[in-house]
Amino acid sequence: MNARTTAQRVRRGEISAVSVLEDSLARIHAENPRLNAFLRLDEEGARAAAERVDALVAAGDDPGPLAGVPIALKDNLCQRGVVTTCASRILGEWRPPYTATVVERLAGAGALLVGKTNLDEFAMGSSTENSAYGPTLNPRDLSRVPGGSSGGSAAAVAADFTPVALGSDTGGSIRQPASFCGVVGLKPTYGLVSRFGLVAFASSLDQIGPFSTTVEDAALTLEVIGGHDPRDSTSLRVGAPQLVAHVDDGVAGRRVGLVRELFEGADAEVVAAVHTAAEVLRAAGADVVDLSIPELSLGLSAYYIIAPAEASSNLARFDGVRFGHRVSGEDVTAMMEATRTFGFGDEVKRRIMLGTYALSAGYYDAYYGQALKVRTLMIDAFARAYQHVDLLLGATAPTVAFPFGAKSHDPMTMYLNDVFTIPTNLVGHPAISVPFATGEGGLPVGVQLLGPGMSESVMLAGARILERDREGL
């Protein structure tokens, strides 16, 4: 069952939250040792939550719109007292003293938070091969990566462990694994979802969003987790979005831009899927027009200066002094050096060094300053495009899921996986990946819809059209 159907049946007393949870846990125990989607489970906490939901139903009260729905959390989202590692050795057995706003909102809506999922360390990667706790396998093909950095959350939904999972998206880390695993992945407008309690990677880019089996479930989850939070200084002063009521609005009369730069260079089956998606939207009443936004070709270069620069600052707090794992040294400097050398993996070290270099004296203007100017160019380019169209259409990733080890030897090859997703993060707009077709080996191909800020309702309605007409899945 999908999340909305599950919640409706639990709220009506047709099934119990406890039975839903036990079914979910049984699947996880059977298959997770092979997939490694979950790093740890919170069975005690989830069972207590399920019992509370059933007690509320028995008393005639409404537990909330996600009543009895098992949900997985990416392991960079804090839960008070629950081990949170960001898939890094440097955090060890760290138990946060506070809970992320999104986690509080899910629990308040009756969701059952079953555990923490695997990721690329500190959300830095595109394959979940960079985890200190081993890679996650793609449920569609165990020889392939699930994408990253939110690969564990994508795999948990694809394997039917939970109907919904949360991930974070800094440069495509929800949408790309959604495409690789054949599920829906939604990156909301920057600031619509609170980042309080999300362990920061790049603060001007990070955003929390849902994975789900259906577009409607993504809409429902975003309704629950969205809205203003005074604890997040970047939170938009808006209420919770109303989205489920609009998922079937359709696209009649909408203008959709088929953006050449968002599929150019992709594999043939990916390009074919994008063009077929355009025809589906056209048949549903949309006016689909060819569009070029040349500035998008600059996105990858700008991102890999801005994101590492922010990461080098954010990760300075992990020094072995206040929390997390500590390696002894003969003085404080030696201790910090030994701790960070042991605690961080190669990709995290690479990005810290890149970011520190870009921010250093003599290079700041040449690199970081220039990247910020490129970001402004991209914001202006998107704004011009949205004067003429309501939505943009393109590919989510250039290829289907690739084999383990195929790109880990060459960072630049790996970074190119994000070429179609990064522009949205740089400008702060929403985007969604919908499984639409199949490619090599019958593996899923996702297509991507993009919209201007706060256009989630229109974007989800377009995604719903694609979901209803997808090929081969």
**Where do the H-state alpha helices sit in 159-286?**
175-181, 215-225, 268-283
Nearest to 86 by CA among 99, 98, 97, 73: 73
Which of 16, 24, 74, 150 is the catalytic position? Answer: 74
DSSP line for 1-52:
--HHHHHHHHHTTSS-HHHHHHHHHHHHHHHHHHH--EEEE-HHHHHHHHHH
Element (H, E) at 460: helix 456-468
**What is the separation of C-alpha 62 from the centre of its chain, rounded to a whole number of angstroms?**
29
Question: 10 Å Cβ neighbour count for 249?
Answer: 15
Longest CA–CA separation in the chain, Å:
70
In angstroms, the CA 137 to CA 144 distance is 7
Residue 173 among the catalytic residues: yes
Tell me which residue has tokens 């048949």. Answer: 283
CA distances from residue 463 to 320, 421, 434 in whole angstroms, order as listed: 45, 16, 7
CA atoms 76, 78, 84, 89: torsion sign: positive
Which of 173, 194, 433, 455 is the catalytic position? Answer: 173
Tell me if 122 sits within 8 A of 86, measured CB to CB: yes
Q: Which residues pair with 38 in a beta bridge?
A: 117
Q: Which residues pair with 165 in a beta bridge?
A: 72, 211
Residue 149 among the catalytic residues: yes
Ramachandran assignment for 124, one of left (phi > 0), alpha (psi -120 to 50 degrees), beta (any other): beta
Residue 187 among the catalytic residues: no
**Where do the H-state alpha helices sit in 284-421?**
299-314, 332-343, 346-359, 370-385, 411-415
In angstroms, the CA 385 to CA 292 distance is 9
Which of 24, 88, 149, 455 is the catalytic position? Answer: 149
Q: Which residues pair with 40 in a beta bridge?
A: 116
Tokens of 448: 């991507």
Active site amino acids: 74, 149, 173
